[in-house]
Amino acid sequence: MTDRAAQLSALLPKVAGDPRGMIAVARQLIAAGDRRRALELAEQVHAMTGGRGEAGVTAAEILSDGVHSWHFVIPFDRARNQAYEQALIRAIRPGCRVLEIGAGSGLLAMMAARQGAHVVTCEADPAIASAARDVVAANGFADRVTVVNKHSTALDADRDLGGRADILVSEIVSNDLLSEGVLAAHEDAVARLLVPGGVVIPPRGKIRVALARDLRNRAKRLTEASGFDLSAFNRLASPSEMIRVGMEQVALCSDPVNLFSFDFASAEPRKAERRELAISSLGGRVDGIVQWIALEMDAVGRYENRPEPGAASCWGALLWRFPQPLETLAGEAVAVGGAHERDRVRLWQQIDLSEAGC
């Protein structure tokens, strides 16, 4: 704790019971680098006000800062919930010990506890860990679920888990599968925190891709506005954009292809990879490449968020737009490339650099 944070802590008895005063101190604690104490104050204010009034709203702002919106979307994905719960039901045996990486709302941990497991769920963000702890208690599972406010790599198997876990479960996969650090987290946990031969849920994941047409008939690119050419600004546009699965924003223009596959049950570090391939078009305009994820929950269960009519998923797909649309014939091969750097994925249209003047 910094000297400034210590001085601010000394003010707490003076503002106790005063929501505005407590919020004022909480803001200063954040500026002084003591986020944990600021969050504790914000929680107290939120409980006092019910989130109402200026102090209540400010407390909610402090508590929600850095909490991604997907935490409020994921629990409504019934297919995802069912895939995880069925895999847990098939894996859990009486008295087994489960480690979850990424507590979130506490949903998966409670699913495991409901089957009789003793669960330790770790969560690096203190606000999320505190809320998950309250959710677990409110549902009557505090005696079977322990929420530990640590990153998984900081866990000690004996001190934090009471011994290595029999089952490792996580849902730290992102829209591109990798950017939440699932590879590094699983490699470490399998090596240090899981019994040899323990169950991992999910044990495998894939990045799938296909050629795609944007059904919205628009591009996030600038052309002319008010008589001015703004196209030079387009070099600042992100090369990819999220597509909401099931909203028919894109149509697949090829059969799906597995670009990369990952073993989440392995402790062996996975190296960065690069791949080039030719994808056969179904014909018509191709605006880019769309990627999505597929999870193998165990030998039986599967989950995939393929962007197609009628689909629904808490994860989005990603459209990597070509600089210019392609008009293709059925069966025509389109050369594309892909790479991952363990925590990031990148896709592109292959070009002949000599023809491009590079």
Tens-place pLDDT, residues 116-169: 999 999 999 999 999 999 999 999 999 999 999 999 999 999 999 999 999 999
Domain boundary among 65, 83, 98: 65
Q: Are residues 90 and 156 in the same domain?
A: yes
Higher pLDDT, 223 or 192: 192
Could you give the C-alpha distances from 331 to 149, 209, 289, 307, 334, in angstroms and in order?
Answer: 53, 17, 16, 22, 9
Per-residue pLDDT, 301: 97
Quick check: 246 pLDDT over 90? no
Per-residue pLDDT, 3: 75
69/59 Cα distance (integer angstroms): 17
Type of residue numbered 338: G
Look at residues 65, 93, 113 and tell me which one is the last residue of a structural domain: 65
pLDDT at 223 > cutoff 70: yes
| Whether residue 234 is found in the same domain as residue 157 | no
pLDDT in tens, 284-301: 999 999 999 999 999 999
pLDDT: which is higher, 1 or 270: 270
Establish if 187 belongs to a structural domain.
no
Residue 217 pLDDT level (bands cut at 50, 70, 90): confident
Q: Are residues 60 and 80 in the same domain?
A: no
The mean pLDDT of 30-57, rounded to a whole number, is 94
Q: Do residues 27 and 95 both lie within one domain?
A: no
Instruction: Read off the CATH number of the domain in which 332 is found.
Output: 2.70.160.11
Q: Which of 181-190, 230-239, 294-303 has the weakest average pLDDT?
A: 230-239
Asked if residue 231 and residue 326 are part of one domain, the reply reads yes
End position of a domain, from candidates 50, 65, 80: 65
Domain identity same for 123 and 227: no
Q: What is the pLDDT of residue 221?
A: 80
Can you give the pLDDT at residue 358? 44
The reply to whether 261 falls in a domain is yes
313 has a pLDDT exceeding 60: yes
More confident residue, 49 or 3: 49
pLDDT above 80: residue 2 = no
Domain span including residue 116: 71-171
pLDDT above 70 coverage of the chain, percent? 96
Same domain, 61 and 77: no
pLDDT of residue 7: 74
Give the phi and the psi of residue 136 in degrees, each rounded to 5.
Answer: -60, -45
